[in-house]
Structure 1
């Protein structure tokens, strides 16, 4: 399968040398069974047409999906054009911009930062999932989806982030606010890069400690692979 990665941001300066960029993180997460193509959406680089790849992963980003930036507008246009033409998988910013592109709403949440290891309760299991009722993965976000786009069902969420994982009923598309591609050491380093600047000392310490716990990154990777194998089951 030809799998396009729409790159919408980069790790903070210095961290990429150790952990790689976001496309590299997704390649490690999903494994070698795909023909990966990367497009730097922030530089205006997008596929010539949606069917250039069978599916697309939209990465995380320090940007906000509601910003009035040209590249964000172009990305939303591309996602709308890809509706029904290619499978879509959105992660963090990707989750948010998919919601915005298809009629939902994203805001800077009054709940504040979501960092560390977060747990979501499964509300509506999908054919590509197993029977687990709760999942855990690193989080790193201030923005949240607060209004669902038409055709989207809530698969999982939490009190902190109710619309944490979505599946579309009118197109082959899924998205999640959590970061299955973030290895715990990267998630810790990302928090450290923001400690005392954008995140308080105590909040950062608690989030870093939480990342010592078990997570479901491998399970989420398998779910994405199953979805990509037959996106009609979304």
Structure 2
């Protein structure tokens, strides 16, 4: 099965020498979780043409420094791509910006949150238990890095995890083939730390320090990676 990664951004240049490009993070995440895919990366943020979603096995839309409110020329084609994929029930997963642009394209409201930066490992309460979420845990801890949030989910979406800081952190869609997360299960601990440190001077010092301390707590990223892989492959 081929997973087409719709790449909407990349690792910040300052961190790329140590951590490489963004798509291989997903390769490693799924491989560690035992999910086997062939991969194709389509860097639409860098001008790559969108494929026909009806002809794809599965889609993953990545994180990005972009916001849904920006005026990049690739954003409207991405919205059209998402709507087409949704209508054809092509399995589709959005992460961080991917989560936001899916919600935006399908009728939700996405904005820069007045709550500011979310950094480090956050804990999200399980709000509902869709079939793919194979756990009885009351909460899941996963790394995040964002300012924007889904303020109002689309009517087609059900919230399955959230927190006081990010109420709509996980959405599963009524077509049965679309799913999205605000946090980043693909982030390793060392990358989470490096990204938090990179935000010094942009995010408040207290937020950065809390993010750094949070990485010592247990993570459910590996569990989530397995559930996401199974969702895409089913």
> TM-score with structure 1 length normalisation?
0.94
For residue 185 of structure 2, the aligned residue among 160, 164, 180 is: 180
1:199-218 counterparts in 2 under 5 A? 199-218=203-222
Distance 1:35 1:52 in 2: 15
Contact 2:120-2:214 at 8 Å conserved across structures: yes
C-alpha deviation, 1:25, in angstroms: 0.5
Contact 1:9-1:42 at 8 Å conserved across structures: yes
Moved over 6 A (4+): none
For residue 63 of structure 1, the aligned residue among 44, 66, 72 is: 66
Deviations 1:75-94 (A, max 9, x none): 11111111143111000000
Deviations 1:22-81 (A, max 9, x none): 111111101161110000010232443113321111111011012222111111111111
C-alpha deviation, 1:11, in angstroms: 1.4
* Secondary structure of 2:209's aligned partner: helix
Distance 1:194 1:22 in 2: 18
Runs (5+) with no aligned partner, structure 1 = none
Question: Which residue in the other structure is 1:48 paired with?
Answer: 51
C-alpha deviation, 1:171, in angstroms: 4.4
Q: Are 2:84 and 1:81 aligned?
A: yes
For residue 106 of structure 1, the aligned residue among 85, 88, 110 is: 110
> TM-score with structure 2 length normalisation?
0.94
Contact 1:5-1:38 at 8 Å conserved across structures: yes
For residue 147 of structure 1, the aligned residue among 136, 152, 157 is: 152
Contact 2:118-2:147 at 8 Å conserved across structures: yes
Count of matched residue positions in the alignment of Structure 1 and Structure 2: 229
Between 1:64-73 and 1:102-111, the stretch displaced more is: 64-73
Between 1:44-53 and 1:132-141, the stretch displaced more is: 44-53
RMSD over aligned Cα atoms: 1.3
Question: Which residue in the other structure is 1:163 paired with?
Answer: 168
